Structure 1
Amino acid sequence: MKIALVGAGAVGCYYGAMLALAGHQMLLIGRPAFVEAVRAQGLILEKAGQRIVAQVEATTDPAAVAGADWVLVCVKSGDTEQASREIAPHLSAHSHVLSLQNGISNAATLTKILARPVMPVAVYVASRMNGVGVVRHEGRGDLALSGQHAAEIATVLNAAGIQTQVSDDVMGALWTKLVINCAINPLSAITGLPYGEMVAQDGIPQLMEDVAREAISVAQAEGVTVPDSVFETIRSIMVAMPGQFSSTAQDLMQGKRTEIDYLNGEIVRRAAKHGMDVPINRTLTLLVKSAERRGGQKPL
């Protein structure tokens, strides 16, 4: 199977490597430095104490999606519109497009611009780039998806060692993940701490819960039910991955733009539609954006 992947970051590289190692023809579309490194050394996956080289193709050209059976979109949420416009003229009629992204609105954005159904996928993986063309797996890696052809796609992913379930309510899963990210990501970024050290700070566990409750109130206003188990999930992540920095923290450390507008910022925007106030989520959004403006090299 030919699979094209748009957005060769930590998430995309992890799943790209897993699919390539399962024997699929993988084409990753990324930045020039990434393409150069992968063409020279392959895509390197560090997982379970092993360093594995996955043979993939790499290019900077969005037109390379032509002929792909699947197109996996893994770009940052802020780049979704641009990426979709770049690939739209080149997609084959038979291509299945999947959104493996944070946030709750990316699949809708892709669907509108590409004028075809796009499958939203809830992604649960901790990974980070450990050098150009080197992705390090830190934990989990499972997916949840729904929609037409979901069972067929899940079968292929499971065969590649990517635990995948077909969900009756993937948007509910995406909202639950959004609540979790809102509680964890900005605080790791602002403190500059990995999860274990962050949660050991006085008051942080309660603050995380308060952030989550604000986000859940907005989900309810949107007609979405987030299970109470989300609080235990947040606590368990702190225990399971004590050395992990959130993706927002990693972006700040690398001087990159974060996805905060599509995490806590999404909660702020949707709350405003319902005449609701979410002061904690608004404050965290503003603090992370302030850190972005000054380069984010040091914690606030």
Structure 2
Amino acid sequence: MERIAIFGAGALGLWFGFKLHDRYDVVCVSKKRFVDAIKDKGLTLLLNKKTKTKNINITDQVKAISACKTIILASKSFDSKENLTTIKNINPQADIITIQNGIYTEEVAKELFNKSQLFPASVMIGSRFINDSTIEEFLNEGMVLGSLNSSNKTQDIAHMFESVGIKVRISDNIERDKWKKFMFYCSSATLNSLTATLSLYEKDERWIVKNSLDEIEQVGKHLDLSFDIERLKEEVFEYAMNFRPKQWNASVGEDLKKGKKTEIDYLNGYVVKLADRFNIDVPINETLYRLTRILQRTRRLKEK
């Protein structure tokens, strides 16, 4: 049985490790404090007020990825370049599944690896830490998987996830699906992170979501994209208006509550960066970006 690595495993990476553990030879590479806690107590998954614990294979040694044919890169976007470089140095032939928010990680990966090795995924699954050995699944709308060169391996990777009960769809345009999540997160998840709102269809929330998406559309029109971004904008807006989670803890908000560095530079901050390149004003996205940076610095939302 081939070994699968989950590299940079935080709450979402450990969720994948928990799911894949029973059927596959999986090793999670994570931070030492999580490794120590999980080796001592096992990894517990909380779902619908019920818990289940598994003794997964976990380490803080990056050399563990050397013998793995497939690597799920599960770290935050701001660590993507460093971690992809590490993979390149240790296991340059591995197939890499990227599950990060945003569109930055794939841009870095294409500079380091052959496109045939890269399998981007748009994941709408929410997992957060309750403590160092316990994670909670609070959202599960499955994932969309694709490849950068129509690889036949995509079906095998999809089967791997399906075989452990993970809902997965194979994309016919993964760039479009990654942008769909990127646009949703910039317009809606950042808003949830700052306000805890779930009601994106209310007047105030709707105004922010719509105008944020309009700005991203204008930026996207200056890029060489493989899809119609105006049509995608309408699709994302409709999705946001119909998004009705009972619980939603967007990752930027979770990081703010923990006083941790967020991925905002690779979400709304990335929109601002692209807009600057084309001399476009994006006031809604820039405001969301700068507000998040202020709260990250002041730790005003940090739970006590």
Tell whether the structures are fold-level matches, with TM greater than 0.5.
yes
Give 1:142 shift.
1.4
Q: Which residue of 2 aligns with 1:235?
A: 241
Runs of 4 or more, structure 1, over 6 Å off, are none
Cα distance per residue 1:76-116 (max 9 Å; x no partner): 100111112223222163x2111111111202212323566
Q: Which residue of 1 aligns with 2:267?
A: 263
* Paired residues of 2:43 and 2:55 also in contact (CA < 8 A): yes
Cα distance per residue 1:12-62 (max 9 Å; x no partner): 1111111113x1122111111100011112221122443122331111111
Q: Which residue of 2 aligns with 1:61?
A: 61
Q: Does 1:195 align with 2:201?
A: no
Following superposition of structure 1 onto structure 2, how do residues 76-91 of structure 1 map, counting pairs within 5 Å? Answer: 76-91=76-91
Provide the C-alpha distance between the structure 2 equivalents of 1:61 and 1:298, rounded to a whole number of angstroms: 30
Q: Which residue of 2 aligns with 1:11?
A: 12
Q: Which residue of 2 aligns with 1:107?
A: 106
Following superposition of structure 1 onto structure 2, how do residues 169-184 of structure 1 map, counting pairs within 5 Å? Answer: 169-184=173-188
What CA RMSD, in Å, does the superposition of the two structures yield over aligned residues? 2.0
Provide the C-alpha distance between the structure 1 equivalents of 2:247 and 2:297, rounded to a whole number of angstroms: 26
Structure 1 unmatched ranges of 5 or more: none
Q: Does 1:244 align with 2:248?
A: yes
Q: What is the aligned-residue identity percentage?
A: 24
Matched residue SS, 2:46:
strand
Q: Which residue of 2 aligns with 1:154?
A: 158
Q: Which residue of 2 aligns with 1:138?
A: 138
Cα distance per residue 1:215-269 (max 9 Å; x no partner): 12222332342422211211222x2x24322111100000111111110111111
Cα distance per residue 1:97-139 (max 9 Å; x no partner): 1111111120221232356632211111122111112111112
Give 1:189 shift.
2.6
Q: Which residue of 1 aligns with 2:280?
A: 276
Provide the C-alpha distance between the structure 1 equivalents of 2:20 and 2:133, rounded to a whole number of angstroms: 16
Q: TM-score, normalised on structure 1?
A: 0.90
Q: TM-score, normalised on structure 2?
A: 0.89
* Paired residues of 2:11 and 2:129 also in contact (CA < 8 A): yes
* Paired residues of 2:259 and 2:302 also in contact (CA < 8 A): no
User: In the alignment, residue 260 of structure 1 is paired with which amino acid?
Assistant: I
User: In the alignment, residue 100 of structure 2 is paired with which amino acid?
Assistant: Q
User: In the alignment, residue 172 of structure 1 is paired with which amino acid?
Assistant: R
Q: Structure 1 stretch 172-181 or stretch 273-282: which is displaced more?
A: 273-282
* Count of residues in correspondence between the two structures: 292
Provide the C-alpha distance between the structure 1 equivalents of 2:197 and 2:30, rounded to a whole number of angstroms: 27
Give 1:280 shift.
0.8
Structure 2 unmatched ranges of 5 or more: none
Q: Does 1:125 align with 2:125?
A: yes
